[in-house]
Homo-oligomer: A and B are copies of this chain.
Amino acid sequence: MTDGCDGEVTDDATDDAKADGGWTDAEEEIMLATYRALLEHGYAGLSISRIADELDKSKASIYYHYDSKDDLLGAFLAYAADRFQSSILTESGDDPREDLERVIEKLLPLRPDEEERQIQAVFLGLRGQAVTNATFREQFTELDEQLAATIREVVERGIDEGAFRDVDADRVAEHVLATINGAMYGRATSDRETAVAAVRVSLSSYLDAELRRS
């Protein structure tokens, strides 16, 4: 996620150039700097100053794009959702059942590395703010909508292709998303390491039973 973040933005033309996901190069640089600052300082220690340090630019160059730290973090959540979505689309293959496992492993890795643990802790911190902060709440509503849609679409594809039986794809998607979110949340806030492994096995067997054509 750090590729291309050391480049210099030299003129307004570059500033306005839209990258793939509808983000300008300048915005994307700020997003990557935000990501690094979050990993380093956590949500509580995040400031525009620290993002500017990561960016090697002035705070003004950030305020030019975002009015406040919350505004920037709202954009960051949207950016992370876009990135996740494209990585899922890129990697989807021929077998919808395998694609489902891939989405699950991405969202709830069995053995997360240090960076994955940290980014999940960061998201949990941001998500906690969504209880009272309307901007974050909106972003997490969209993020969950998007994740549920990703899972639902794989299930629907499986049904269309005749690989899965004709289940209520929406219901299955909400179940999978809630189970993943709950296990992720549990792992970040307790010391019950074996719980995630039990959930992963159980989720797979739920999907096998639910989707299997009889």
**A contact residues vs B (CB 8 Å cutoff):** 42, 121, 124-125, 127-128, 130-132, 136-138, 140-141, 143-145, 148, 170-172, 174-175, 177-186, 188-192, 195, 198-199, 201-203, 206, 209-210
Contact B144 A170 (CB under 8 A): no
Question: DSSP majority for the A interface?
Answer: helix
What separation, in Å, do the CA atoms of A175 and B179 have in the docked complex?
A: 7
What separation, in Å, do the CA atoms of A135 and B183 have in the docked complex?
A: 20
* Shortest Cβ gap from A125 to chain B (Å): 7
In the complex formed, the residue of B with least CB distance to A124 is B131
Contact B189 A182 (CB under 8 A): no
CB-CB under 8 A from A183, the residues of chain B are 178, 181-182
CB-CB under 8 A from A209, the residues of chain B are 209-210
Contact A178 B195 (CB under 8 A): yes
CB-CB under 8 A from A144, the residues of chain B are 186, 190, 192, 195
